[in-house]
Amino acid sequence: MLDDVKLTSAEVIGKDAGGNVLFVCNRYGSGAVIVTTPQSMIPAQPADWNTFRIDALSGKLKFPHVEALLKMICSEVNPVKVEGDVQFGLNKTESGWWLYLFNNKGVMKLDGKEEWFDMNRAAEVKIDFDKIKVRNAKELRSGETLAVKDNKLTLKINPGDFKILELK
């Protein structure tokens, strides 16, 4: 059961399906403070904290409210939108940006055996250069020039692979 939240100056930026307040935002100067209701962050009260910890660290246990909050924050501050089951990072350079894309899925490893890749876990990635104008994109490892159309780019990243895109 969630505690009732009474707001004085903050605005609600997230509620659960039952209408309970999950996140609030209080503007402060040129920034903001986001406060969460701590009970909403943990999916269920575990009986066994050690199993809970292992499940959380392995990714077996999901934290949908935390994920929603992080996506909300990232969409505000990232100059690009990346869709697809990949990890990504950005670096601002003197001449543009570098976008790193990692597909950690589909790498199969068993003790004493050489790793292999499940090609069914390739990631289809769509990139929307939402807040920056990209004239050209180059994959730095291969040297390949990628086709940017309508300030968007689509590409495939194989399991265990990564790409470094130079954006200008």
Same domain, yes or no, for 110 and 86? yes
Question: What's the rounded Cα separation, in Å, for the pair 63 and 66?
Answer: 6
Query: What's the pLDDT tens digit per position in 73-125?
Result: 988 889 999 999 999 999 999 999 999 999 999 998 888 999 999 999 999 99
Is 3 inside any structural domain? no
Is 6 inside any structural domain? no
pLDDT at 50: 86
pTM of the model: 0.72
Is 136 inside any structural domain? yes
pLDDT at 154: 97
Number of domains in the chain: 2
Same domain, yes or no, for 110 and 97? yes
Using a CB cutoff of 8 Å and minimum separation of 24, what contacts does 84-91 make?
84/123, 84/124, 84/125, 84/126, 84/157, 85/123, 86/123, 86/125, 86/157
Same domain, yes or no, for 86 and 151? yes
Query: What's the pLDDT tens digit per position in 1-41?
Result: 556 778 888 999 988 888 888 899 999 999 999 988 877 77
Same domain, yes or no, for 65 and 94? no
Same domain, yes or no, for 60 and 107? no
Last residue of a domain, one of 77, 97, 130: 77
Is 41 inside any structural domain? yes
Same domain, yes or no, for 85 and 129? yes
Residue 115: give the domain boundaries: 81-167
Same domain, yes or no, for 85 and 163? yes
CB 159 within 8 A of CB 165: no
Query: What's the pLDDT tens digit per position in 126-168?
Result: 999 989 999 999 999 999 999 999 999 999 999 999 999 999 9
Same domain, yes or no, for 71 and 94? no
Question: Counting beta carbons within 10 angstroms of the beta carbon of residue 46, is it exposed (0 to 12), middle (13 to 18) or buried (19 or more)?
Answer: middle
Is 137 inside any structural domain? yes
